[in-house]
Structure 1
Amino acid sequence: MKRFFLAFLFTGSLATAMAQSAQYTDAMTKQTSELDSSGTFTADGLQQKANTFERIADAEKSQWLPYYYAAYAQVMQALILQDKSQIDPLADRAEGNLDKAEALSPKNSEIACIRSLIATARLTVDPMTRGMKYGPEAAALLEQAAEFNPENPRIYMLRGQSLLFTPEQWGGSKSKAKTTLELALQKFAAFKPESSIAPHWGEPYTRKLLEQSQK
């Protein structure tokens, strides 16, 4: 009887865990699929997404992806804002989410890429005074991302973007950007996300950047 009772408890716990897992996957699938929508890429749309991912993270504290996507939405919001006074607070919030994500998934190339974007966002507040600090920091974080996973295409996309928008006297150029972005597309073609909700963003944007590098 005791053995039957324990088996019943185990089966019930397993069923509950599977239901929770399915609910989490369904919620994340919906939210991540909407990230590809142009309608999401407004300041308000990205803020709503960040808030939603944070709520999922609060409910699923053992999962790194909700924290990651919350930070992604926050840094993307920071990068499109016209009001520069809002950038640092958003960057702080994104870094806090990445700290939680990294505690669950250390040495993660995707997390390092978002940290690089955060450094870039901070730089845009005042490029003349912040460039010497955050430019090298953004580049170093991409180097770290490559150490963790050299096949991550977002590394090369972000490097290409930096080369495209950096003046030639500071090391940028369209020709260097073109070469790097072409490599990024090769990496995208070979890249297989770990799951349907794993990071997969960036390929359409890479193609747009490549077009700009050829003009």
Structure 2
Amino acid sequence: MILILVLQIDSVYEVYLNKLYSSEPNEVKSAYEFFKKMSIARSNKYDLYFCAYSLQILYFSTKEFNKEKFLDEAIKLFEKAIKIDNKFSEAYALLSGLYGIKAGMNIFYGMFYGPKASQMIRKALEIDSLNPRVMYAYAQNLIYTPPAYGGDFDKGVEILKRIINKYENGYKDSGIIKWGYKESIFALAIAYEERKDYKNAYIYYKKLVDIEPNNEFYKNKVKEMETKL
């Protein structure tokens, strides 16, 4: 009976992981609700991680007015995951990226969150420097942290391109956390769009459409970039 229940949970978990990895805002919201309930029910580090990761995706893919709430909740969830496992490189890595985003919001946040972002990514790299998601977070940290606090847009972009090449040259993820390729492409598209480099943004959004032809969000972004070329 217990084995059947575990298998049922694993099966449902897989469904919501697929929703999360789809990057479709509505699907990600559904995944967020599921992982939030799971994290409350059993306080497992992976439940906390996936709940926080879904919020990070929503921060980048939605146009809600008060998006900072996504960051604040995600930060708390990653911090809880690290308390459960202080060697959880994946959580340190993404927490660093969120601190970096907060650091770029204003000078006061920069003074507080900038050093914290650097501390978290150093810890993640110390634990597992070859992990593509740690590399991804390092790139995000460089892109969104102000130069005065160690940010470097061009270096961050170059790291994202290296991650993409790593996957395209045959790298396969192991374990329950399996993302990095599509997300690095998405991160590049957003980074270029925010720099008003619509030509490169178009290239990477188009690459996402080639991967997921039925993804309406990606298709709409391609159309949006076309109007700005």
Using structure 2 for the length normalisation, give the TM-score.
Answer: 0.66
| Alpha-carbon spacing, 1:105–1:81, altered in 2? closer, same or farther (3 Å) | farther
Match of 2:134 in 1: 155
1:68 paired with 2:49, answer yes
Structure 2 counterparts to residues 44-63 of structure 1, below 5 A: 45-59=27-41, 61=42, 63=44
**Pairing of 1:106-145 with structure 2 (within 5 A):** 106-123=86-103, 126-145=105-124
The CA distance in 1 between the partners of 2:72 and 2:180, in whole Å, is: 23
Measured in 2, the distance between the counterparts of 1:66 and 1:121 equals 23
Aligned residue number for residue 206 of structure 1: 184
Code of the residue aligned with 1:152 in structure 2: it is: N
Could you say which residue in structure 2 is the equivalent of 1:8? none
Residue 19 to residue 62, structure 1, CA distance change in 2 (3 Å): farther
Aligned 8 A contact 1:153 1:191 in 2: no
How far the C-alpha of 1:110 sits from its partner, in A, is 0.9
**Paired residue type of 1:109:** S
Unaligned residue ranges in structure 2 (runs of 5+): 201-229
Q: Count how many residue pairs are aligned between Structure 1 and Structure 2.
A: 189
Given the superposition, is the C-alpha separation of residues 105 and 203 from structure 1 closer, same or farther in structure 2, using an over 3 Å criterion? same
Counterpart CA distance in 1 for 2:8 and 2:71 is 29
Measured in 2, the distance between the counterparts of 1:27 and 1:73 equals 16
Paired residue secondary structure (2:123): helix
Following the alignment from structure 1 to structure 2, what is the Cα–Cα distance between the partners of residues 163 and 151?
17
Q: Which amino acid aligns with 1:204?
A: K
Whether 1:36 aligns to 2:21 is yes
Aligned mates of 1:184, 1:123 — CA distance in 2: 24
Code of the aligned partner of 1:49 = A
- After TM superposition, list the pairs within 5 Å mapping 1:10-29 onto structure 2: 16-29=1-14
What is the letter of the counterpart of residue 148 of structure 1?
Answer: I
Structure with greater Cα Rg? 1
Residues 70, 97 of structure 1: 8 Å contact kept = yes
Determine what percentage of the aligned residue pairs are the same residue. 21
TM-score normalised over the length of structure 1:
0.70
Change over 3 Å in CA distance of 1:164–1:152 after alignment to 2: same
